[in-house]
A = this chain, B = another copy of it.
Amino acid sequence: MSTPLPRLALTIGDCAGIGPELALRAMSSPEVSTVCRLLVYGNLTLMRRVAEVTGLRLPPDLAVIHYGQWPSERLPGTGPVLIDTPFAEALTLRPGEVKPVCGARAFEWISMAVRDIRASIADALVTAPINKAALNGAGVAFPGHTEMLADLTGSTEPPCMAFYAPDMFVSLATIHEPLSKVPGLLETSALQRVITLTAAACAQMSGSRPRVGVLALNPHAGENGLFGSEERDVIIPAISAARKAGVDAAGPLVPDTAFTWLFSGRPKPYDAYVAMYHDQGLIPFKMKAFDTGVNVTLGLPVIRTSPDHGTAFDLAWRGKASPGSLFSAIKLAVRLVKERKKSS
């Protein structure tokens, strides 16, 4: 008997965006169905409407389980499963509009998915994009999935946002913060944790002991204290502590030359990078992997990945959105589930 495929919980995100059509593509793709079984958290009426206007189809082997019958002891059939939750407005809502009700549903689906993963009904979470204004309108006040998932899983330590592409893995020491707050938020033990989480995740993905390059905060890596002291006060101590704990970490790297290898054909000097702030990591990452990268959350009790793009309201319900990043997110989640099973 073959091992059953990993079960991936896929939340369709804000349904006025491109999430539903990407989910339709994932449900019908052999690229996906050969590596995992999808549990899609959404609404049948909505998926039918989006299928109709985009010319996409609901897969013939789709099993629909209504909310009242979920969680089900045994999944019906062998294809994807749609968990169909009540959503009266699904009949009338339109693409590209910020609606609190869409935010409320998006949050509900994520909450259900997290609960089901913790109950071992699903193995990992893949999230389609959400809209912050819609969430806020529904009274859900998180700046993004990462912070929401930390709360839903009761994590006591902050999760770490990381980005994966075949050529590059980068994690962020700070995420959605004004740049003026970044220097004050850097702290040695928290940074050491980010370095360690990054090394562990990278080891799972690459299989070997990764070399982690830790970026400096300041230009020229502070030029010996002339352009800032965070390298000396926080970053170097965090690197030293991580090295003592067995991580092959190096730095602080001069930021403006750390990524010059990316398009040069030269071998990569580090398997993973830790950036001090959002754009320091994401400017080079998105240059390399725009619309194909995967966002992965480290430090959560659940495995979670997501595509590296937003709701794209301007493109929604037209069937034109590329599912590449979502498919990459699904495949990475499958890999992480398998690696976790190996090591457990």
Contacts and interface: CB of A to CB of B under 8 A. Distances in A.
Contacts of A228: 178-180
Contacts of A285: 256
A178 B260 contact: no
Contacts of A218: 178-179
A30 B143 CA distance: 58
Interface in A228-285: 228-230, 255-260, 262-264, 277-280, 282-285
B290 A178 contact: no
A256 B278 CA distance: 8
A283 B284 CA distance: 7
Contact of A284 (B179, B183, B222, B284): B284
A182 B277 CA distance: 14
A12 interface: no
Contacts of A183: 178-180
Contact of A220 (B176, B223, B290): B176
Interface residues of A, number: 43
For this chain, the copies found in one complex come to: 2
A220 B286 CA distance: 13
Contacts of A255: 279, 282-283
A73 B270 CA distance: 57
Interface string A189-230: 000000000000000000000000000011110110011111
Interface string A161-189: 00000000000000111111011100000
A223 B176 contact: yes
A91 interface: no
Contact of A182 (B143, B179, B184, B256): B179
Interface in A29-84: none
A258 B175 CA distance: 18
Contacts of A219: 175-177, 179, 277-279, 282
Contacts of A230: 178-180
A123 B282 CA distance: 41
A177 B227 contact: yes
A279 B263 contact: no
Contacts of A227: 143, 176-178
A287 interface: yes
Closest 9 CB pairs of A and B: A178-B228, A256-B282, A219-B278, A180-B183, A260-B290, A255-B279, A256-B279, A256-B286, A260-B286
Interface of A: 132, 143, 175-180, 182-184, 217-220, 222-223, 226-230, 255-260, 262-264, 277-280, 282-288, 290
8 contacts: A179-B182, A179-B217, A180-B183, A219-B279, A255-B283, A257-B286, A259-B287, A283-B284
